[in-house]
Structure 1
Amino acid sequence: MAEQPLHEHTLGNGLRVVVCEDHVVPLAAVNIWYAVGSRHEQTGVDGKSRTGLAHLFEHLMFQGSANVAEGEHAALLESAGATFNASTSFERTNYYETVPVSHLELALWLEADRMGTLPAALTQANLDNQRDVVKNERRQRYDNQPYGTAFERLCRLTFPPGHPYAHTPIGSMEDLDATTIEDCVEFFRTWYAPGNAVLSVVGDVDPGAVIEMAERYFGAIPAGPAAPPARPGGLEPLTEVRLEEVDEEVPSPAYFAMLPLPVDGGSEIEAAELAVEIIGGGTGSRLYDRMVRRDQIATEVWTGVTRMVGGPSLAIVEAVGPDPAKIAEVLDEELARFAAEGPTEDETARATAQAERGLLERTETVTGLANALSANATQFGDPARTFTAAARAAAVTAEEIKDAARRWLAPGARTALSYGGAR
């Protein structure tokens, strides 16, 4: 995408502000990334584990603050015609709303009030309520879904106990039950400081006016302590297939695999992700052609990549079919063939075009662009990196894709789950 002028400003308390003008529609997207996710949670320190806190906070942040009563945050945004939500990952939590530009100040005031004063509204009642909401979410999306715990199981297989990435953001029921008001206040004061956040605003706005509003609403929030250093996220290379047989009632037998990839931020992850796309991304991929069309050993094949900056990125392979052992055998064959041959010219062109299309789709709205600016500012210190993403993918050569596959997608080096099928 074409680079757009950015206006950046850092408040005295450390909050980074990024503003980008887009006057196509009279909207403003407000997006805040906090550099805290499940990798920053306490696991096994002095016998205490508090997984799920980052995701729990995603819910608690909508329960009111010093000047906003319980239920008012959402009600005020809805009355302004806003769309809004939040999400949590291993490495960050983000909050976002897109409002008619006439209500931009409301959105900024709401974000500032909860950033500065959330503990004032933390009560046992709303903690209990939101804990139950998260536990029900876990039941519905993970525990009671076919293959719903696959990613969680693969992370535990891939990373050693206590590793920052060994548990997923949803957390455990036991840790959620053990969480106290004191845990929440400590977590908030540790990670929800202005210096650990990026505020991006994109839309039909005047940059100078937005920066003045940011100063007005966020500037008086105390800087708070510096965030503690994140625990090391490195991982020794896998040299075997660590397989777990999963005894669950599922609609069909299936095979899931996880392969560590390079950390995000360098050219190697670009090449590795393109390799994953060529191998298993969609109906034009090698795995789909081999497993579904030709050998008919699977009815579905899918691959994807989760990028990480504090530890290895992760490639996932999912295949549904009657013989998981045969799927694993064919997967090894196709990984070995790709590492030996590399991609064809057409495969390289198609994969880079697909990557560019995906990047453009994620940034074509003010909402998506604000999120991308916050992401690149938080993770790489450079929001303008957003505008070079497609060029980075397009610059990868077929030889670089082949080299990345040889190094990161070797047959016989992964963690895997085998689901036996319905009983």
Structure 2
Amino acid sequence: MLKRLPLLALLAASFAAAAATLARPADVPKIPYQKHALKNGLEVILVEDRSLPLVAVNLWYHVGAANEAPGRTGFAHLFEHMMFAATKHLPRGMADNLLEAAGVSDSNGSTSFDRTNYYDTLPAHQLELALWIHSDRMGYLIEVLDQTALANQQDVVRNERRQRRENQPYGIVEEALWHNLFPVSHPYHAVIMGSHADIQAATLTDIKDFFKLYYRPNNATLTIVGDIDKGKTLALVEKYFGRFRAGDEVKPLAVPTPIVTAEKQVVIEDRVELQRVIMGWHTAKIYTPGDAELSLAGQILGGGKASRLYRSLVYEKQIAQDVSAAQDSLQLGSVFTVDVTARPGRSAREIEAAIDEELEKLRASPVEGEELERARNMIETSMIAGLQKVGGRADLLNHYNHYTGDPGYFARELAAYRRVTPADIQRVVNEQLKKAARVVIHGVPGTPNFGPE
């Protein structure tokens, strides 16, 4: 292994060139890793990369918005914020100050339906500092959490909801798709931000119970990528995390995917000037048959200016100003969306009819081989580009480990895309993107209904 050669950067450049010429890259970049498990159940994934004196520390807890109890929507995201509160050994704000003084970059946390992660990239010689801070949160946060900290973060999270949903154009229009695709009883119904009422209703007891169940070492995976010695790094992980006791087993969620048997049309008023159409379907779970085909279909339909929807609705008909289509791949069931904003003077009905015209073409005839190749190369280029930074690699290995149990799933995902044929896309689109199995949201100018504060 050539430790100082920026191999991934070179591969990314070659993949970009391949996409431009529609050539198929033959080689698959390999990420040699080691996977360990401490006695308390903490999974540890290590990748040694000496190309730059940097290290990424990426900690995934296998809990997300889907794990929230009824009446506690937005709770997983609220708890993500609580993890940055004071711990037994670190007053609030000190962890950030220490990391900034150490030269940290790309430092944050995020919550999805299926997981919550916390991550930092910093100079390699500061690895121990990052491990101490992350372990202090895991082991010594709960002892000092109080009502003041909770009330403060409830205000912060509710303000974030206002900024990202209520004051963001089309924010509640996008949210309405999930509300109408999933019943109230489904973990994906509420969307990650939750409601004001549920966020405000969270109690300190709720917070502590959530922590004790989900924020235990046996429900977490720590991935470290960069300029490290794997043996010494594993010893450091044992030093800082090995003392914590495992919690109760967290059983995987088993929730059936809802079945939509008749098209549902919903009009949502918002403080916007232009009308928008958002369509959504229930589709194959992440990394199951149909998922790769629909990711490619999304690229063909709405992935950039060469896509079918862009060419038809923006260039030719000139009735839309932006388009997108994508497969949102998730653990309990994915969602395929088409999202189009009308030009001034154009209606949602007109946009919907134009989208349907392109969808019908995709159902009626296989895509051209060159069109599929272009979509495939764009996805592969994006995948490779995500490997260039140590933080991106660390998060990707955690992603694969969470969803498949195999941190080295990259080659298998790439192979899944390469196996897809034009006939496969036509078949899966006909099976899963039926007109009678979708929800259609029309976002129109008007007075929004934000619900109770």
Question: TM-score, structure 2 length as denominator?
Answer: 0.89
Q: Which residue of the other structure, out of 58, 81, 93, is the alignment partner of 1:59?
A: 81
State how far apart, in whole Å, the 2-side matches of 1:61 and 1:258 are.
33
**Is the 1:146–1:251 Cα contact (8 Å) retained in structure 2?**
no
Summarize deviations over 1:69-123 as a string: whole Å, max 9, x none.
1111111111111121111000000000011011001101111111112111211
Would you say 1:99 and 2:126 are equivalent positions?
Answer: no
Distance 1:32 1:266, change over 3 A: same
Would you say 1:299 and 2:321 are equivalent positions?
Answer: yes
Would you say 1:148 and 2:171 are equivalent positions?
Answer: yes
Q: Which residue of the other structure, out of 178, 182, 201, is the alignment partner of 1:159?
A: 182
How many residues are paired up? 416
Question: Structure 1: which 4+ aligned runs deviate by more than 3 Å?
Answer: none
State how far apart, in whole Å, the 1-side matches of 2:79 and 2:240 are.
22
**Is the 1:333–1:411 Cα contact (8 Å) retained in structure 2?**
no
| Corresponding position of 1:390 | 414
| Corresponding position of 2:361 | 337
- Of the structure 1 ranges 269-278 and 380-389, higher mean CA displacement relative to structure 2 is found in 380-389
State how far apart, in whole Å, the 1-side matches of 2:258 and 2:73 are.
20
Q: Secondary structure at the match of 2:118?
A: strand
**Is the 2:294–2:327 Cα contact (8 Å) retained in structure 1?**
no
State how far apart, in whole Å, the 2-side matches of 1:107 and 1:314 are.
36
State how far apart, in whole Å, the 1-side matches of 2:42 and 2:101 are.
28
State how far apart, in whole Å, the 2-side matches of 1:317 and 1:399 are.
21
Would you say 1:317 and 2:338 are equivalent positions?
Answer: yes
Extract unaligned runs of 5+ from structure 2. Answer: 1-27, 448-453
State how far apart, in whole Å, the 2-side matches of 1:210 and 1:339 are.
52
Deviation at 1:422, TM superposition (A): 6.2
Q: Which residue of the other structure, out of 385, 388, 394, is the alignment partner of 1:370?
A: 394
State how far apart, in whole Å, the 2-side matches of 1:36 and 1:151 are.
23
| Corresponding position of 2:298 | 276
State how far apart, in whole Å, the 1-side matches of 2:263 and 2:135 are.
48
Q: Secondary structure at the match of 1:394?
A: helix
State how far apart, in whole Å, the 1-side matches of 2:44 and 2:174 are.
34
Deviation at 1:262, TM superposition (A): 0.3
Question: TM-score, structure 1 length as denominator?
Answer: 0.95
For residues 14-413 of structure 1, the aligned pairs below 5 Å read 14-43=41-70, 49-83=71-105, 84-236=107-259, 238-309=260-331, 311-321=332-342, 322-413=346-437
| Corresponding position of 1:46 | none
Distance 1:303 1:395, change over 3 A: same
**Is the 1:164–1:233 Cα contact (8 Å) retained in structure 2?**
no
Q: Secondary structure at the match of 2:236?
A: helix
State how far apart, in whole Å, the 1-side matches of 2:442 and 2:381 are.
33
Deviation at 1:287, TM superposition (A): 1.1
Deviation at 1:387, TM superposition (A): 4.1
State how far apart, in whole Å, the 2-side matches of 1:364 and 1:343 are.
32
Deviation at 1:224, TM superposition (A): 1.1
State how far apart, in whole Å, the 2-side matches of 1:142 and 1:361 are.
30
| Corresponding position of 1:415 | 439
Amino acid at match of 1:280: G
Amino acid at match of 1:65: T
Summarize deviations over 1:39-65 as a string: whole Å, max 9, x none.
00011xxxxx11111101111111121
**Is the 2:173–2:268 Cα contact (8 Å) retained in structure 1?**
no
- Of the structure 1 ranges 63-72 and 103-112, higher mean CA displacement relative to structure 2 is found in 63-72
State how far apart, in whole Å, the 1-side matches of 2:304 and 2:381 are.
14
Would you say 1:11 and 2:38 are equivalent positions?
Answer: yes
Deviation at 1:300, TM superposition (A): 1.4
Amino acid at match of 1:9: H
Q: Secondary structure at the match of 1:95?
A: strand
Deviation at 1:419, TM superposition (A): 2.0
Q: Secondary structure at the match of 1:94?
A: strand
**Is the 1:254–1:421 Cα contact (8 Å) retained in structure 2?**
no
- Of the structure 1 ranges 255-264 and 223-232, higher mean CA displacement relative to structure 2 is found in 223-232
Deviation at 1:266, TM superposition (A): 2.2
**Is the 1:359–1:389 Cα contact (8 Å) retained in structure 2?**
no
**Is the 1:275–1:404 Cα contact (8 Å) retained in structure 2?**
no
Amino acid at match of 1:57: F
**Is the 2:173–2:270 Cα contact (8 Å) retained in structure 1?**
no
Distance 1:240 1:331, change over 3 A: farther
Deviation at 1:241, TM superposition (A): 2.1
- Of the structure 1 ranges 409-418 and 22-31, higher mean CA displacement relative to structure 2 is found in 409-418
Deviation at 1:289, TM superposition (A): 1.4
Q: Secondary structure at the match of 1:164?
A: coil
Q: Secondary structure at the match of 1:119?
A: coil
- Of the structure 1 ranges 114-123 and 178-187, higher mean CA displacement relative to structure 2 is found in 114-123
Q: Secondary structure at the match of 1:234?
A: coil
**Is the 2:68–2:76 Cα contact (8 Å) retained in structure 1?**
yes
Q: Secondary structure at the match of 2:141?
A: helix
Extract unaligned runs of 5+ from structure 1. Answer: 44-48
**Is the 2:294–2:336 Cα contact (8 Å) retained in structure 1?**
no
Give the aligned CA root-mean-square deviation in angstroms: 1.4
